[in-house]
Structure 1
């Protein structure tokens, strides 16, 4: 196709070079020629091409009132002209292409009475002709999103095929549409418009095959004629950010590492922003540093240094919507800090108890030594005391002596030092 276009452009330049270059009139260079067309078109369909002469400085110049001062010249081969219409400052032709290709159409304007003069203005347009149907696949949704080809899941889509047929070439044709929505769903309809609802997020390609069929009654071909066309549109299905699920502790100690998992109920990417506050209040713009998250989960790590009641204020948004969430946390003093002081206290208490026991045992030992040094009473008195019981004892010392004689004494913890006088 490219060599064909180059060949035809070269032919146009060659034809333009054949134009005589005589002295230009005063109007040359003051105007430009604008060419518009309703192409592209299928083979056999009529195409309209219009050329209009306008002033270059946005209309401050006026065109001559007499339109017969200028003449429009067209080069359109191999397209066949089916009609032509001239106006005061414009010219319109109707052409038909019987073979597919990209065809350049050139037009220029000269003075009506000076064929040897330089053109007042010139222009050209490339007209695509195809053997297939020409049209567009249009997808619309009630909810508009801020970026192209993006739509919401679980919301009805309207998918329509718009046939490009300005000359009403397919007025007697019947159409059949085969739809493939890219998620495994296919259908065949006779209507150019369908409604569909995607239930999951993702990028899908809607494919459409159109078949047009009609009966041709005029030459050169008679009988049933059929034309087809394949069309597609890429769709990105997203979900609104319905909320944030927070998974993490609500009670923690100081100097302990805390990990909170945020699960986003919506489509990534998500912009996340969080901050610790004494109260659960929404975050304002610029109050925290946003982080871009490409998945539906994100971990927040923090270590508290001071005890107290805190609130994690979290803001998340995707290009569809935004939401806020809060998570309260109570921070208690770390258990390691009381243990540091508990060990010295326990040690001190143990030492004090040991000292008290030591003093008690020492006093008891001294009393036992004193009992051993007392003289033993007579056997008769001892017998009487043993029979009569401790209630008949005259003094406590006598009771201690009887107990010692009947039960024995523990050996002293230390031997008493005896003193000798020389």
Structure 2
């Protein structure tokens, strides 16, 4: 064999590795790997990670017919591999994490007989490993609400701890649960489920501390007691349904008089309140009035009626749980006091009347003084003032008669005497 034939033969053998994957440049980029895991997990517990072939165009592209043409390559360090399973176009590994942290795991797929060839698909994920217990607090209630973390007060709540242990790592462990319901109540149980009835309205935080203990063989030391703990919490929004609306206010009022009514809501805020005056007590339709936000359980409404008649306050209130209606009838009578537009003429009339009374009083006082100081006034003056004006100026009729007798003497008799002659 010629000396230059040996390098040429080596080059042909190296290129032969790529011959079975002549179609890979076409397949590359058409598929991807979907990775799933049952993590997070606690240290020492086994975790399962799976990788499966999927088409990039959501399934319209057919997957490779022969699964044996491809091989899955995993990089999982520092996780310890405990098992591996290969299926059609998928691969599953089981690993254990002995240190806490977010540990990366990657996988790629190549031709089955050429692992150095260009990958057909790649996948990557991060596995959270913690030294504490892994689980969730689950809260349920018979009256489910459409709002997250919202529950009814004065109704029984079921609070349960769900341990995340897909590998049964804690199958021989015993648990102790310490509950804090956020309203001053605490308890310790061996059961992961408790029932509790809140009597308050507002926001509470449920806290739970879980302790797990079990026996485990230790190298060279026999059996030892192992322990793991976990702290969990969840937020509760406790609401109360609207039982009704208490309306405090007058039922009879006059026009042009300001009216104030107080609304007491038998339920938990925040509320949305809407009201409107109607001739009859009928429920409000959607969009019939402008809603107002109320942050307390009390709200005041003010209104001034301009026209008499029978009216009805139609009131609607709702919170995040329920809604309710209430009505308040009012009878409006015409006002006995005129409106402000008539105030000026009334005031003018009253002022003129008072001025006239003062004038007459002062004039009477002056006339009485002149009569005392001058008992014998001239006849002309006496006639003019006392005779003509006497009835208007003197205080009593007796004084008027006395003055008339002084001026005219005695009145003539109503009959004359008749003389009688005898013949």
TM-score, structure 1 length as denominator? 0.77
Alignment match, 2:371:
none
Q: How many residues align?
A: 357
Alignment match, 2:38:
38
C-alpha displacement of 1:372: 6.7
Pairs within 5 Å for 1:208-247: 208-217=208-217, 219=219, 222-247=223-248
Q: Is the 8 A contact 1:25 1:117 kept in 2?
A: no
Q: Quick one: distance in 2 between partners of 1:256 and 1:147?
A: 44
Alignment match, 2:310:
309
Q: Quick one: distance in 2 between partners of 1:163 and 1:366?
A: 120
Distance 1:376 1:366, change over 3 A: closer
Q: Quick one: distance in 2 between partners of 1:332 and 1:188?
A: 67
Q: CA RMSD in A?
A: 3.2
Distance 1:77 1:397, change over 3 A: farther
Distance 1:98 1:220, change over 3 A: farther
Q: Quick one: distance in 2 between partners of 1:376 and 1:242?
A: 94
Residue 159 of structure 1 pairs with residue 159 of structure 2: yes
Residue 49 of structure 1 pairs with residue 56 of structure 2: no
Q: Is the 8 A contact 2:102 2:127 kept in 1?
A: yes
- Residue range with higher mean Cα deviation, 26-35 or 54-63: 54-63
Q: Is the 8 A contact 1:176 1:190 kept in 2?
A: yes
Residue 207 of structure 1 pairs with residue 207 of structure 2: yes
Q: Is the 8 A contact 2:201 2:239 kept in 1?
A: yes
C-alpha displacement of 1:57: 1.4
Alignment match, 1:264:
265
Alignment match, 1:73:
73
Alignment match, 2:382:
none
Q: Quick one: distance in 2 between partners of 1:230 and 1:217?
A: 27
C-alpha displacement of 1:261: 1.4
Alignment match, 2:386:
none
Q: Quick one: distance in 2 between partners of 1:396 and 1:283?
A: 90
- Residue range with higher mean Cα deviation, 211-220 or 192-201: 211-220
Pairs within 5 Å for 1:159-198: 159-198=159-198
Q: Is the 8 A contact 1:310 1:328 kept in 2?
A: yes
Q: Quick one: distance in 2 between partners of 1:233 and 1:302?
A: 46
C-alpha displacement of 1:333: 1.9
Alignment match, 1:249:
250
C-alpha displacement of 1:66: 2.1
**SS state of the match for residue 68, structure 1?**
helix
C-alpha displacement of 1:342: 8.9
Alignment match, 2:327:
326
Alignment match, 1:85:
85
Structure 1: which 5+ runs fail to align?
Answer: 1-19, 378-394, 399-422
Distance 1:220 1:177, change over 3 A: farther
Distance 1:235 1:220, change over 3 A: farther
Distance 1:375 1:188, change over 3 A: closer
Q: Is the 8 A contact 2:71 2:115 kept in 1?
A: no
C-alpha displacement of 1:369: 3.8
- Residue range with higher mean Cα deviation, 136-145 or 71-80: 136-145
Q: Quick one: distance in 2 between partners of 1:193 and 1:130?
A: 24
TM-score, structure 2 length as denominator? 0.77
Q: Quick one: distance in 1 between partners of 2:199 and 2:82?
A: 51
